[in-house]
Structure 1
Amino acid sequence: MKSFDLSVYLVTNSEMVPPGVSFLDQVQKAIDNGVTCVQLREKELNTREFIDRAKEVKKLTDKAGIPLIINDRVDIALAVDAHLHVGQEDMEVPVARKLLGPNKIIGVSASKPEEIQKALEDGADYVGVGICFDTQTKVTKKLPMGPMGSQRLLQIIKDSGKPMKICLIGGINQTNIQRVRAQASIPGRAIDGVAVVSCIMAAQDAAAATKELVRLWNEPPIFWDHLDSESDFNMNGAIANVLSIHPLVHHITNDVVKNFSANVTLAVGAAPLMSECSEEFDDLAQYPNNSLLLNTGTPNEEQTKMYITALKAYNRWGKPVVYDPVGAGASTTRKQSVKKLLLEAYMTVIKGNQGEIFTAAGVEKSMRGVDSGSEEALDSVVAAAKKLAVQSRSVVVVSGKTDVVVDGILHGRRDVTGKVPIAFIQGGHEIMSRVTGTGCSLGSTIAAFVAANRSNPFLATVVACSIYKRAGEKAGAEASGPGTFQALFLDKLNECVKTQDFENPKIILT
């Protein structure tokens, strides 16, 4: 088996090099600061010029002890004794192998299951899978797959039992490399690296850009900075933290529930803030002890852009995000919005009713509105929630007669193999399904508790749901109907927080 490291794989593009900087200087700085492979991709040079450039780059890679991989051109690879990467329309791997011999690395571009399968059968050493995110490097009609989209391809490689490696390519940079590594994994298998182009080749300071990429690849994601599996977490302490810290919950939510959500936030001891001003999102994300609640009630193209701006600001500063994909399966527009948001950002918690979570997980289920839906068998609900949680590396909440909370964060461990904690919380009252906003405002409560209890988002979410259920049960017992329920619910929620009165969850490992 050949030994090579795909962790931070530089693919060159001479057209991106900034003015005043030479191509070779840019490559040298990248090598000196930690790239683990270099692919030389030249579409405009003639053969002789390509050979001359390849010889120059190979001197640099040989000195550093890393592979030089030539894009497409087996003749250039032979001329300079380098390795090879081919696309789907280039020379097939078995033919290239006969020419290059058994000791050369040969990689293949792939994006579909059948392409992965053929690469395995042909004996490719690695596949470059994409596109991960939108990119200007290549003109393509392919929709970005995102890091979660690579998981089905990883499964094919894992099931084969073959040692073929995999890296993701396309729009990967310093802002998303940590999320890519966290989400591009399945139990027992993860990606081996990322291929990058513009974030190094176009950088004014390629040395600093490379150093930062390598650091980010090797360190835990910023959004998991506060995780602490050794902390002495308890439900009463979590409630006390909310009351003492008074976290700020930035709401981007639909107009129907803004007032009620703000009052719910105040009732649990947190501070609500309502803003849809993109220009201030980065400032708001820097506030201490805060979180973002994104409730996509009525999405359209412009709003989706605004959502993404907010999500990226909170991801950039490593702050908790609670995402409520309201009515996710009710229309094609809503389904596309969910896909886009899950592609573009990391969510600490994904919360919804059964229909919304089934849609986000890619599981078929009919929708009957945004606040209700037919109850599925509990095992089906758990399966869908677990699938989404492990795929997204998020906490997933399915609200219903029994709330289901699944921990996909798993203390931030790299390998997602092993047991997954799942909590079941009963309680509440049937009136809650007849009052608009009770589902949405559960998100406000979760956002407050997660912001105040960063060490364990799963248990913080469980506490939030447990208090919410208890308050609903107590308010429903006294209410004469939906109208009186709202006011009673706010009082009971505030009372339950102050007296630390909550439903006892059942937590199992599965």
Structure 2
Amino acid sequence: MIDYSLYLVTGRELLPPGQDYFDSLEQALQGGVTVVQIREKNADTGEFLDIALRSKVICDRYNVPLIVNDRVDIALAVQAAGVHVGQTDMPVSIVRNLLPEGTIIGVSCNNLREIEKAINDKADYVGIGAIWSTTTKNLNKPIVGVRRVGELLQKLDGTSIKAVGIGGIKSSNLLRTLHGSVSTTNRALDGVAVVSEIVASTRPREAASKLCEILSTFRNSGSVPNAMSTRSDYSVENVLDGVIQIMSCVREHNPLVHQITNNVSIAQSANATIALGASPIMATTAQEMEELSVINGALLVNIGTLVSSAYEGMTLAGSCANAQKKPVVFDPVGIGASQFRKSAVNSLLNTWQASVIKGNAGELAALSGSNEVQSKGVDSIGSGFKDPISFVRNVARKERCVVVMSGKTDYISDGTNVAVLTNGHELLGQITGSGCIAGSCIASYCAGAMILARGENQEGKLALGDVFLGAIGGILALTISAELASLREDVKGPGTFFPALIDELSTLSTRNIRERACIEIQ
């Protein structure tokens, strides 16, 4: 049985000056490479054969299988473990007839049609990609992107075919690749193929070892704070207990909440964050994102004002937050308004993993590609989803995070459970930035959940379900405070409502939560 975990694809043209190919290969094997594919697109047959023979000797020394790219004759000559072919190379069926029984055959796949063909051809494994842009190969097909890999993996359900992700994978994006490349049925990648990260390194042993460490970390403790779970013991009582615990934690510890948000509502969001007991920092400059990720408790990314400088900051901030295992709350404001926004959201979510995605029905429909609900700018239009519970649960499974669908009724899912919340007041919809404020409330409570989890686990891994509870808590805090504000005698309309809302957020009590929360768990 081949271990596809760390699959090295060679490329002598990438070697640093003075680096010997065979020494680099041996160091990579010492660092933990589990399978090697030798690729020589420009060598003549004699040179390829010599390189393959010498590579085979080294791989045998470490009991690591050698796979030959494309050339069946070379594979036969060196008694390689397998052959890898592309879509324009020799068909799998013919390769199978030419090779000894038990030889491994892999095939490159970029889309569902190619996956289906690989299944019909009885390939042993598929290389799915390119997942990221890459300079090691001329691409004549579109980038798959992390979030589309799951759709391809799902086609492999019920088969014995293994799957390896390939294309632009390196240590800086490996965790994102592993976490995001999972189907809704939890079919994951069996390994990742790496080229330049190892071959172009002056220290290939250390490069391979670092990749192995990331693979091991992911398998043992997950990648980023999220709440994908199969937990089924949630009840209204224990959810409210968790929310109250998070609320108290935020007020006690005053976590820093980094927010890249809509310019229209920066002040409102900052004031709401302070009222809850957290501390806001509204920073967009890319140069400070790495330092801020170390000290913040959570990150909120809101694309309401999508200018190039802010987008650069968003891209780096999310990656840095993932690296620090800090919750990332993402609000794709107005995604359905333009192709530019859709493209930006797709790029951001392929670059880093969100812990929570929050949007109204129209925004989430645009995100998921559904035509059931339409949007007009930042607003939803129409009567909504026929089955909102199933919709939000499915989006959570697809995006591998908690999903909050805001509206008159709020739906929050971790991919298994769905919380249905019916608190709130119509005045919330009559003030600027109420949706942005909701994101700030969720981020503040997710920061509190992170503090609680770190108190129980020094490695900083969130306990199962904490982000789910943080999202529920953030929505309840805002909607219950809105109800309380609307009851005040000094509130005459939207103009007097917002100051009252901030007051009520700052004085919200555990008793208010327990007595007023209108919540069901599905």
Tell me if both proteins adopt one fold, taking TM over 0.5 as the criterion.
Answer: yes
Query: Given that residues 296 and 324 in structure 1 are in contact (C-alpha distance below 8 angstroms), is that contact kept between their aligned partners in structure 2?
Result: yes
> Which residue is 1:182 aligned to?
179
CA-CA distance at 1:322 after TM superposition: 0.7
Aligned counterparts of 1:29 and 1:443: Cα–Cα separation in 2: 47
| Residue 5 of structure 1, aligned match among 3, 6, 22 | 3
- Number of the residue aligned with 1:291: 298
Counterparts of residues 436-451 of structure 1 (less than 5 Å): 436-451=432-447
For residues 211-250 of structure 1, give each alpha carbon's deviation from its aligned partner in whole angstroms, at most 9, with x where no partner exists. 1111211223342499999999622211110001101111
1:141 positional shift:
4.3
Alignment RMSD, CA only?
2.2
Per the normalisation by structure 1, the TM-score is 0.92
1:487 has 2:495 as partner:
no
Letter in 1 for 2:435: G
Tell me the distance in 2 between the aligned counterparts of 1:49 and 1:93.
Answer: 25
* Other-structure match for 1:93: 92
Residue 246 (structure 2) aligned to one of 226, 229, 238: 238
> What SS class does the counterpart of residue 168 from structure 2 fall into?
coil
Q: Which residue of structure 2 lines up, in the alignment, with residue 140 of structure 1? A: 139
What are the equivalent positions in structure 2 for 1:40-59 lying under 5 Å apart? 40-59=38-57
Scaled by the length of structure 2, what TM-score is found?
Answer: 0.90
- What is the Cα deviation at residue 124 of structure 1? 0.8
How far apart in 2 are the matches of 1:211 and 1:130? 23
Aligned match of 2:222: 221
Which residue identity does 1:265 align to in structure 2? T
Q: Please say if 1:430 is aligned against 2:429.
A: no
- 1: distance between equivalents of 2:63 and 2:375? 56
**Offset, 1:147:** 2.4
Q: State yes or no: 1:315 paired with 2:322.
A: yes
TM-fit CA distance, 1:145: 2.0
Matched with 1:368 is 376
Partner residue in 2 for 1:457? 467
**What is the number of residues matched between the two proteins?**
492
Q: Which runs of 5+ in 1 are unaligned?
A: 409-419
Do the aligned residues in 2 keep the contact of 1:10 with 1:39 (CA within 8 Å)?
Answer: yes
C-alpha change, 1:85 and 1:8, in structure 2 (3 Å) is same
Q: Offset of 1:55 from its aligned partner? A: 0.8
Match of 2:164 among 163, 167, 170: 167
Larger deviation, residues 364-373 vs 226-235 = 226-235
Letter of the structure 2 residue corresponding to residue 169 of structure 1: I
Report the more deviating stretch, 495-504 or 121-130.
495-504
Specify whether residues 263 and 224 from structure 1 end up closer, same or farther in structure 2 by C-alpha distance, changes over 3 A only. closer
AA paired with 2:418? I
Alignment match, 1:417: none
Question: How much has 1:486 moved relative to structure 2?
Answer: 0.8
Question: What's 2:456 paired with?
Answer: none
Q: Does structure 1 residue 261 correspond to structure 2 residue 269?
A: yes
User: What residue number does 2:351 align with?
Assistant: 344
Residue by residue over 1:151-181, the C-alpha shift from the partner in whole angstroms, topping out at 9 and shown as x without a partner, is: 12112111xx321111111111112222222
The answer for the alignment partner of 1:415 in structure 2 is none
Which residue is equivalent to 2:479? 469
* Alpha-carbon contact 1:222-1:317 (below 8 Å) kept: no
1:389 matched to 2:396 = yes
SS at match of 1:405: strand
Separation in 1, partners of 2:384, 2:290: 40
Contact 1:179 1:221 in 2 (8 A): no
> Against the structure 1 CA distance between its residues 222 and 157, is the aligned structure 2 distance closer, same or farther, given a 3 Å change threshold?
closer
Residue in structure 2 matched with residue 68 of structure 1 by the alignment: 66
